[in-house]
A and B are shown apart, each in its own frame.
Chain A
Amino acid sequence: MYAVVGKSLTKYYKNLKALDSVTFSISAGECFGFLGANGAGKTTLMSMIYGFIMPTSGEIEVLGKKLQKSNLPEIKAKIGVVPQDNNLDPDLSVLENLLVYSRYFDIRKKDAFNRAKNLLKFVGLYEWSNANVRKLSGGMKRKLIFIRGLINDPDLLILDEPTTGLDPRSRKQIWNLIESLKHSGKTIILTTHYMEEAEKLCDKIAMMNKGKILLIDTPENLSIKFGGNLEKVYFEMTED
């Protein structure tokens, strides 16, 4: 069973080719990482999986259904997104951010409240519940965005650089959370610039360069093939 299948996905932004006939499949329950330099096309690809960006050509299947407008709401209801950029609501408090977001999923207020409370406790933001999000530090915002992506208890998680800007302890904490999500059977798609993170969390890795997927393999196999750790693989594969 595949959670996501991409077939020859190509994306042009005007004349810029951001994705070049990308094909991949992600099994359900797997943690799948996309690695590659800035501008390689990772965020573009992630945004396609939840229908935010439409491919110029190619097809995409998510949770067993071909992604199209008619089933987009139903599919998106089962996805949790942690975007690369901060898009919290700056006029709302920490808790309100989670509650307003949960309304988009039609989650009952009481359930949303309980869930928000637990998630806030888990990442140590509970004391900040009523603070305006503008008052949070960069890393705290990141954590809030992370748990916001979990508010609908998604089957598929899309994590675009989830731990960028986190201190080492917070990063470990998020790693543990990702691992426990994985153990509970969720499919996780992740981009990161931290090789250690990819090595630790990912069952499979796709190496991207200039809009193309160069190869897909397990971190172990990659290390064996290239005779070194993932960092060595990265530098060898993404040469200019």
Chain B
Amino acid sequence: MNFKRALRVWQRNATVYKKLYRSSIALNFFEPMFYFLALGIGLGGFIKEINGLTYLQFIAPGIVMSSAMYAACYECTYGTYVRMEYQKTFDAILATPILFEEVIMGELLWGTTKSLIYGTIILIVMLFFGLVNNFEVLLLLFYLIFCGLIFSSLSLIATALVPGIESFNYFYTLFLTPLFLFSGIFFPLEEMPSLLKSVFQFNPLFHLVNISRTLFYVGINGFVLYESIYLILFLLFIMPLPFLLLKRRYLL
């Protein structure tokens, strides 16, 4: 694996994005903002406080993370699939000095970049709402990258396994939506039945949301580092899979 060659693939995606972002950036922006406003203001009117935070404050850090998550997922499912199967972009690239795993690394890094871009935009909006009072929140950029790597990898695994593009519906409905809803963004998971609680301990978004909320209102502490360990282990465990599975799917 040559990192520079992987970056060439990243750069190709960035070039295309630079031309087309105007037509897609709004979509990625409005969806999380609708959740934030509808639930934060609407539902927030009925909920006094959670752990000393207003409801709007409570959900804001999670919305930053989930928008980063969805950005990586859209990119590395639909985006990668179209490049691989329809546009034959991979075929074209593989006729140049670039190797297959470098193409995949480029895709992974690009998905991660999308996480960073969209997570940062939502974070900036939250700053404008005056929800953050602590500049250690900038460490969140680092965790947006983490979020991107994890969910780009998971999405590329889905891309390697789907028989066709319609099948991504399963990935979103049966996998990502539960991860999103049971991540502690909208309600604390502590009150859940203990079986569910232990299942959702495996949810990487849950840990990312914990980290995000702590960085928003407390700053870096032992808990953030403790949560990071789980994420590192999770990432190390899943990151080889997209390479193996996509190779199996794609290379003849």
- Do A and B pair up? The answer is yes
Show the binding face of A for B, using Cβ within 8 Å. 13, 50-54, 69, 72-74, 76-77, 79, 81, 83, 85-92, 96, 100-101, 103-106, 149, 152
Question: Do A89 and B97 form a contact, CB below 8 Å, given A100-B12, A103-B8?
Answer: no
Please, how many angstroms separate the alpha-carbon atoms of A101 and B93 in the complex?
8
A88-B92, A100-B12 known, 11 other contacts, Cβ within 8 Å: A51-B94, A72-B99, A73-B2, A74-B97, A76-B95, A76-B96, A85-B91, A87-B89, A103-B12, A104-B8, A104-B93
B1-38, CB under 8 A of A: which get 1 and which 0? 01011001001100110011000000000000000000
Asked if B174 CB lies within 8 Å of chain A CBs, one says no
Question: Do A54 and B251 form a contact, CB below 8 Å, given A87-B88, A100-B15?
Answer: yes
A48 vs chain B, min Cβ distance (A): 10
Option from A74, A76, A101 in Cβ contact (under 8 Å) with B92: A101
Give the one of A54, A69, A88, A89 with max B CB within 10 A.
A89
Asked if B98 CB lies within 8 Å of chain A CBs, one says yes
Asked if B201 CB lies within 8 Å of chain A CBs, one says no
Give the one of A50, A86, A100 with max B CB within 10 A.
A100
Option from B87, B91, B98, B251 in Cβ contact (under 8 Å) with A104: B98
B96 lies within 8 A of A89 (CB): no
Please, how many angstroms separate the alpha-carbon atoms of A90 and B88 in the complex?
10
Question: Do A13 and B2 form a contact, CB below 8 Å, given A76-B96, A89-B16?
Answer: no
B87 lies within 8 A of A52 (CB): no
Which residue from chain A places its CB closest to the CB of B88 in the assembled complex?
A87
Please, how many angstroms separate the alpha-carbon atoms of A89 and B89 in the complex?
7
Option from B4, B87, B99 in Cβ contact (under 8 Å) with A87: B87
Question: Do A73 and B97 form a contact, CB below 8 Å, given A13-B252, A87-B88, A91-B19?
Answer: yes
B95 lies within 8 A of A83 (CB): yes
Q: Which residues of chain B are near A74, meaning CB under 8 Å? A: 97
Q: Which residues of chain A are near B87, meaning CB under 8 Å? A: 87, 89-90
- Which 6 A/B pairs are nearest by Cβ-Cβ distance? A104-B96, A87-B88, A81-B95, A73-B97, A87-B92, A77-B97
Chain B interface residue count: which class? 20 to 34
Number of A-B contacts (CB under 8 A): 74
Q: Which residues of chain A are near B11, meaning CB under 8 Å? A: 100, 103
Which residue from chain B places its CB closest to the CB of A148 in the assembled complex?
B92
B93 lies within 8 A of A92 (CB): no
A92 lies within 8 A of B92 (CB): no
A47 vs chain B, min Cβ distance (A): 8
Question: Do A92 and B19 form a contact, CB below 8 Å, given A54-B251, A87-B88?
Answer: yes
B100 vs chain A, min Cβ distance (A): 9
Q: Which residues of chain A are near B98, meaning CB under 8 Å? A: 73, 104
Please, how many angstroms separate the alpha-carbon atoms of A86 and B89 in the complex?
10
Please, how many angstroms separate the alpha-carbon atoms of A91 and B96 in the complex?
19
Q: Which residues of chain A are near B92, meaning CB under 8 Å? A: 83, 87-89, 101
Which residue from chain A places its CB closest to the CB of B92 in the assembled complex?
A87
B99 lies within 8 A of A52 (CB): no
B252 lies within 8 A of A53 (CB): yes
Which residue from chain B places its CB closest to the CB of A104 in the assembled complex?
B96
B97 lies within 8 A of A76 (CB): yes
A87 lies within 8 A of B91 (CB): yes
Please, how many angstroms separate the alpha-carbon atoms of A93 and B2 in the complex?
28
Please, how many angstroms separate the alpha-carbon atoms of A50 and B87 in the complex?
20
Question: Do A50 and B95 form a contact, CB below 8 Å, given A73-B5, A87-B87?
Answer: yes
A91 lies within 8 A of B2 (CB): no
B24 vs chain A, min Cβ distance (A): 12
Q: Which residues of chain A are near B93, meaning CB under 8 Å? A: 104
Please, how many angstroms separate the alpha-carbon atoms of A53 and B12 in the complex?
23
A83 lies within 8 A of B91 (CB): yes
